[in-house]
């Protein structure tokens, strides 16, 4: 976020402070201050002073660079001709560095809120701040100054997610906070472009944030499940990130629950999701809860969650059948919506539009199913209390300083998507050019994994007997009757769909009041006899949340439920994955994984 600031930000004692100039603008001075709140830019122009702050929560990383040696064929009088294909800064130890330039460059990468130009709403947009240090007459001294700023910024970023670090005290430059992540990528998710999306849209963000990563590309169904079941997951201090549809995270969670150390795993290992499937319900639910502008660029918003490192607890639901147990985080369905989900698989190539096509087909050929439904309703007083309690995100730093209030950066401001500032030149550098250069992380740059990263390949693992762990169940066995305080209904249904997140797809806000960790299963029940007009109204209302008011439909908050189908042919889905037809029951469990989410 970028916010015009008043004296409140200036009252915070700066950790570092320097004066910079924009040579293309006469009589313009920027006094840049680094504080525990972020980067304060005080612009002075012809006696007018304007203060703006880039919040620390919007800064993901920084990098020290050096000017690239100009090729023999380049022309100094036309610098723009080479910028498109030849970024003119390189790593400080690169063989292509320009020994004659004593300047050191610090690139600061941030993603701030901006208003969308074409339609209403906001989006996260990349902004690069370039600070050119050239006050000293030796390159080593200028780079030392740039490195001091870099170390301070990175320490402030790390102190937000590691409370043991004090924002006011520096740590040795050789100290490392392990943030390596494992990206588990399903190459067939959605339209099958997950691998390209990772390289072009996720790797740049990881690189800017200096996040090391391993990449595992799944090769068959349950590959991710087998991987996390046996892998040394504790080497990934940055967490396990599922990139694909919701099904890949379903595999990861159930693989973790098949480990004997599942409790420790959930306490110590973060989980993340980057959406590129057909539904992408969880990623949208996370953004919805934290008011993040998800729809414009969901991959970017989710990648920023990963590099920021904040987490929040997320409810899980145990689903039990006669033959197996599994854990879900999104939904359990039976009937209409599950039919659409499973039968539209043949149209996966068209993405989320497959759901619309098959919804119309099933609306025309409407099916009903006979079953017995039992559930334990959440008391009204408890429901009211749960939804008036403010949500608290985990991993907050010990510092009591708060970020500036949420804001946006209007397009009318002159800063645009980058700002290039430089210190006053030393007397010995008068003969050098003083223009600024494109960022090394421009859109035309080639991105590689940062140092220490690798591609992870798992040797083929033979099937072996595994057990599903977890906290003790509070439900009776499926062969036993439900408790007396449960509500029971037997009859014909169009669908029963249990939801534990606000969204089950990017454009489907199924349970508008749901929170990530409220402990509630929202049970949607549509009985036989509903008119097609009302059912169509229900389906159309899923994109806005208005479906909850449609006649002949029910939304019931429950702690647990049991469904016993009494006719064949119905589909049952758990987080979009089909399971065999038959009786099943579900309950919210006490163990809660920590999912990566933005903290304001």
Whether the CB-CB separation of 539 and 547 falls below 8 Å is answered with: yes
Q: Mutual orientation of helices 353-364 and 336-343 as an angle, nearest 10°? A: 130
Whether the CB-CB separation of 299 and 274 falls below 8 Å is answered with: yes
Q: How far apart are CA 562 and CA 317, in angstroms?
A: 13
Q: How far apart are CA 566 and CA 568, in angstroms?
A: 7
Q: Which tokens is 561 given? A: 């439920």
Q: How far is CA 94 from CA 16, 89, 99, in A?
A: 28, 10, 11
Q: How far apart are CA 93 and CA 130, in angstroms?
A: 19
SS3 state at 117: coil
E-only strand ranges, 281-407: 311-313, 317-321, 325-328, 331-335, 369-377
CA angle 575, 578, 581 (to 5 degrees): 125
Residues in CB range of 114: below 8 A, 6 or more apart: 122, 123, 124, 125, 408, 409, 410, 411
Count Cβ atoms within 10 A of the Cβ of residue 169 and give its class: 0-12 exposed, 13-18 middle, 19 or more buried.
Answer: exposed
Distance of CA 346 to the CA centre of its chain: 29
Whether the CB-CB separation of 372 and 564 falls below 8 Å is answered with: yes
Q: Which tokens is 511 given? A: 């349970």
Q: Mutual orientation of helices 353-364 and 532-541 as an angle, nearest 10°? A: 170
Q: Does residue 315 have an active-site annotation?
A: no
Q: How far is CA 375 from CA 477, 484, 522, in A?
A: 14, 11, 11
Q: Which tokens is 201 given? A: 């849209």
CA angle 469, 475, 481 (to 5 degrees): 140
Backbone angles phi, psi at 556, to 5 degrees: -120, 120
The long-range contacts involving 580-585, CB below 8 angstroms and separated by at least 24 positions, are 580/321, 580/323, 582/321, 582/322, 583/321, 583/322, 583/478, 584/319, 584/320, 584/321, 584/332, 584/478, 585/319, 585/320, 585/475, 585/478, 585/560, 585/561
Whether the CB-CB separation of 530 and 344 falls below 8 Å is answered with: no
* Beta bridge partner(s), residue 280: 505
Which one is catalytic: 214, 246, 403, 518?
A: 246
Of the candidates 527, 531, 523, 533, the residue with the CA atom closest to the CA atom of residue 553: 527
Return the DSSP state at 269.
-
Of the candidates 296, 320, 316, the residue with the CA atom closest to the CA atom of residue 468: 320
Catalytic site residues? 246
């Amino acid at each position: 976020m970028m916010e015009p600031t008043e004296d409140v930000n200036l009252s915070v004692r700066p950790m570092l402070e320097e004066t910079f100039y924009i040579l293309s603008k006469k009589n313009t001075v920027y006094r840049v201050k680094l504080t525990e709140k972020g980067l304060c830019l005080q612009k002075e122009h012809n006696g007018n002073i304007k203060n703006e702050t880039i919040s620390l929560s919007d800064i993901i990383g920084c990098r020290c660079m050096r000017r690239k040696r100009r090729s023999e064929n380049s022309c100094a009088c036309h610098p723009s001709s080479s910028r498109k294909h030849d970024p003119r800064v390189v790593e400080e130890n690169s063989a292509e560095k320009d020994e004659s330039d004593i300047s050191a460059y610090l690139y600061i990468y941030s993603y701030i809120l901006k208003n969308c130009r074409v339609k209403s709403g906001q989006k996260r947009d990349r902004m690069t701040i370039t600070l050119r240090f050239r006050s000293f007459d030796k390159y080593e001294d200028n780079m030392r100054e740039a490195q001091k700023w870099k170390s301070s910024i990175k320490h402030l970023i790390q102190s937000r997610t590691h409370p043991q670090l004090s924002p006011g005290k520096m740590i040795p430059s050789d100290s490392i906070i392990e943030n390596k992540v494992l990206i588990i990528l399903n190459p067939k998710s959605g339209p099958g472009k997950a691998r390209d999306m990772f390289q072009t849209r996720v790797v740049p963000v990881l690189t800017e944030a200096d996040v090391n990563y391993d990449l595992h590309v799944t090769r068959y169904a349950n590959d991710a499940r087998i991987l996390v079941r046996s892998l040394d997951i504790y080497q990934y201090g940055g967490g396990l990130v599922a990139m694909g549809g919701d099904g890949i995270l379903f595999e990861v969670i159930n693989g973790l629950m098949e480990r004997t150390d599942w409790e420790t795993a959930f306490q110590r290992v973060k989980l993340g999701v980057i959406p590129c499937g057909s539904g992408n319900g969880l990623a949208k639910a996370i953004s919805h809860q934290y008011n993040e502008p998800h729809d414009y660029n969901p991959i970017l918003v989710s990648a920023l969650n990963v590099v920021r490192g904040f987490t929040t607890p997320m409810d899980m639901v145990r689903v039990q059948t006669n033959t197996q147990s599994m854990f879900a985080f999104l939904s359990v369905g039976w009937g209409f919506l599950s039919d659409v989900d499973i039968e539209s698989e043949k149209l996966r190539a068209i993405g989320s539009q497959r759901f619309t096509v098959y919804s119309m087909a099933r609306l025309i050929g409407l099916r009903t199913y006979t079953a017995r439904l039992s559930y334990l309703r959440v008391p009204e007083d408890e429901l009211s209390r749960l939804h008036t309690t403010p949500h608290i995100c985990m991993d907050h730093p010990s510092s009591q300083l708060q970020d500036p209030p949420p804001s946006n950066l209007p397009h009318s401001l002159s800063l645009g998507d980058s700002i290039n500032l430089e210190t006053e030149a030393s007397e010995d550098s008068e003969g050098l050019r003083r223009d600024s250069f494109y960022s090394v992380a421009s859109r035309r740059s080639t991105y590689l994994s940062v140092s220490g990263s690798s591609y992870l390949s798992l040797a083929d693992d033979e099937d072996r007997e595994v057990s599903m762990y977890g906290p003790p169940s509070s439900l009776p066995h499926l062969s036993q009757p439900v408790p007396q305080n449960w509500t029971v209904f037997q009859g014909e249904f169009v669908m029963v769909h249990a939801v534990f997140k606000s969204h089950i797809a990017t454009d489907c806000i199924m349970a508008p009041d749901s929170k990530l960790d409220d402990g509630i299963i929202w049970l949607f029940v549509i009985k036989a006899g509903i008119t097609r007009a009302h059912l169509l109204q229900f389906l159309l209302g899923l994109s806005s949340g208005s479906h909850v008011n449609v006649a002949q439909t029910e939304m019931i908050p429950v702690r647990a439920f049991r469904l016993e189908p009494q006719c064949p042919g119905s589909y049952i889905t758990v987080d979009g994955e089909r399971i065999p037809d038959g009786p099943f029951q579900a309950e919210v469990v006490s163990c809660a994984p920590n999912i990566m989410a933005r903290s304001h």
